[in-house]
Each structure stands twice: as structure tokens, then as C-alpha cells.
Structure 1
Amino acid sequence: MWQPSSPTTEAAPQSPPASRQGSIAIPAGDDRRLRNPGRRFGQIVRLKPEYVQEYKACHAQVWPEVLKQIRDCNIQDYSIWWDDKSGILFATFKYVGYDYAGDMERMAGNPKVREWWRMTDGYQESFVEGAVSSEAGEPAWWKPVEEVFYQP
């Protein structure tokens, strides 16, 4: 499985231009070509206690444009968990594309996504030193965490 050391510094493998199945060439773009098995991500941020209800309410009705952009940027199995004692939000997702940096640029280029980030960032406190917002880019607003065990 492809696993760059950092999703923003190491390029993902390029999508195969075509593959062969017996003696039949399968063109790129055909659904039968090899699919990226994906890379799992985990991230944390703290939810401010005074915004718990607002955060839950907005995530109960995520804007359709935001959901579409997430899918269009090759993100699957995205979930956010909350620990009421520590206030930590823990997000997990699987990236199944071949150009993480490019897909994240496309995500950040969507005005509705940026509006969503401005709203939800206001409910959160970043663990990343020097982080300003999700919109600002680097350093990242959500702190990446290391996966130490996974049983599929």
C-alpha cells in the first residue's frame, strides 16, 4: 500500500495509464484499471466547550457542496468523533486518489468549503503550533496523528 511519510511532501504514485488483462489493453479512465487501495488518515483538534451544540448541529446537516467536494477530492470513509471529557475531535478518512496535494488544493479552492472552514474553525482550538486556520494552509489546523494499529 502506498504510504508517504507526509501527505503534503511526498508525491503519490501516478495513475497507471493503462493495464493489460490477458491480451486486451485496458485504457486509462476505464473502471477496470487498478484502483488505489487508499491511505488512512487520523487528525485531532479541540472543540471549544461552549460550541458543542453548534458543532453537532452543523455536522448533522453538512452543506451539500462541502460533501460533494470531499467526494470529488477522493476522500472516503470520513468520520469525526468527539470525546466529551477532553474536548478532542478525532477525524479519520481514507484518501483513494493519486495526487493528495492537488486534491487538497482543489478542496481549498472551493469558496463554499472555505466558508465552512471559517465557521467550524471558530468552534475549535488547534493543537498545531502556529496554525492560524484551515484556510491558511500550513501549518495545518488539524494535527495529524500516527496510526499505530489497524485491523481491517
Structure 2
Amino acid sequence: MLATPLPLRSTHTSLPDIPTETNHMQKMGWVIGIDPQHIPEYKRLHTAVWPAVLLRIDQSQVRNYSIFLREPENLLFGYWEYHGQDFEVDMAAIAADPDTQRWWALCGPCQRPLESRSPGEHWAAMESVFCSA
């Protein structure tokens, strides 16, 4: 399920309520374009995400990571729940992981970042506007 590079591998600083001192869950959503000719390959890759990549995601306190495809607009929507205490450190650990970097090298050419994304973002962060309890 991990796409490349991580949505939060960015310098975006206006994300609401990112955990820093307590261990509470933060729901996060992301969007990016996908090249239509690469959709079959992207789907194939994500049917068997490498165990080392999944382990690094888990070690970085990311849970319930899902990616959805919207056609014909060719958009990927990513969702995850962050349970950690230091978001920037956890995202840096994912970005520094050699297996994750190799994974990103395979998935990255499939993706088309949005022009409207914030500086430093690959996947564009989305604002949460509703969540049922």
C-alpha cells in the first residue's frame, strides 16, 4: 500500500494537530495523480508490498494505511492513522530506509504530483472536514 515518496515527507508545517507530546491517533489524507498508462503496474506493485517496507511503516507508528484509485480522473487518495509522538522523526526514518527508497524508485514514475501541492510535498495533504465518532 505504500506509495512513493511518503505523503508526509515534506516541509509542510500547517497540518493540524500532528501529535508531538502525547501518543494519540491522527487521521491523515493525501492525494496525488497517477499516469493512466502506469495504473496496471501500480496496482500490481501494491498487491505485494515488500515486508521490509511494511515493517518500516509500522515501526514509524503508521496504521491502517490505504490507497484508493479514482478513475477517470486518475487520482490516488491515501489515508492513514498516525499513532506516534514525533511525526517528523518517524517520517524521516521511513525516508532514510533503503528498502523504502527502492520501493519509491519503482512507484514514483507512476505518480503525477499535483501542481497545487505545498512546497516540499510529493503527495498533497488534504484537510479533514468530517469524521464520525
Give the TM-score taking structure 1 as reference length.
0.73
Q: In 2, Cα distance between the equivalents of 1:97 and 1:113?
A: 19
Is 1:104 matched up with 2:113? Answer: no
Residue in structure 2 matched with residue 67 of structure 1 by the alignment: 54
Find 1:6's aligned residue among 15, 18, 35: 15
Q: Aligned residue for 1:142? A: 123
Q: Which has the higher contact order (CA 8 A, sep 6+)?
A: 2
Higher helix proportion: 2
8 Å CA contact 2:19, 2:26 repeated in 1? no
**Runs (4+) off by over 3 Å:** 128-131
Structure 2 vs 1, CA of residues 130 and 46 (structure 1 numbering), >3 Å: closer, same or farther? Answer: closer
Cα distance, 1:61–1:11 mapped onto 2, change above 3 Å: closer
Give the distance between the partners of 1:140 and 1:118, measured in 2 at CA: 16
The CA deviation string for residues 56-92 of structure 1, in whole angstroms up to 9 with x for no partner, is: 0000000111000000000001000000111000000
**Between the two proteins, what is the percent identity of the paired residues?**
28
C-alpha distance in 1 between matches for 2:106 and 2:125: 21
Note the residue ranges of structure 2 that are not aligned, 5 or more in a row: 1-12
User: RMSD of aligned C-alpha atoms?
Assistant: 2.1
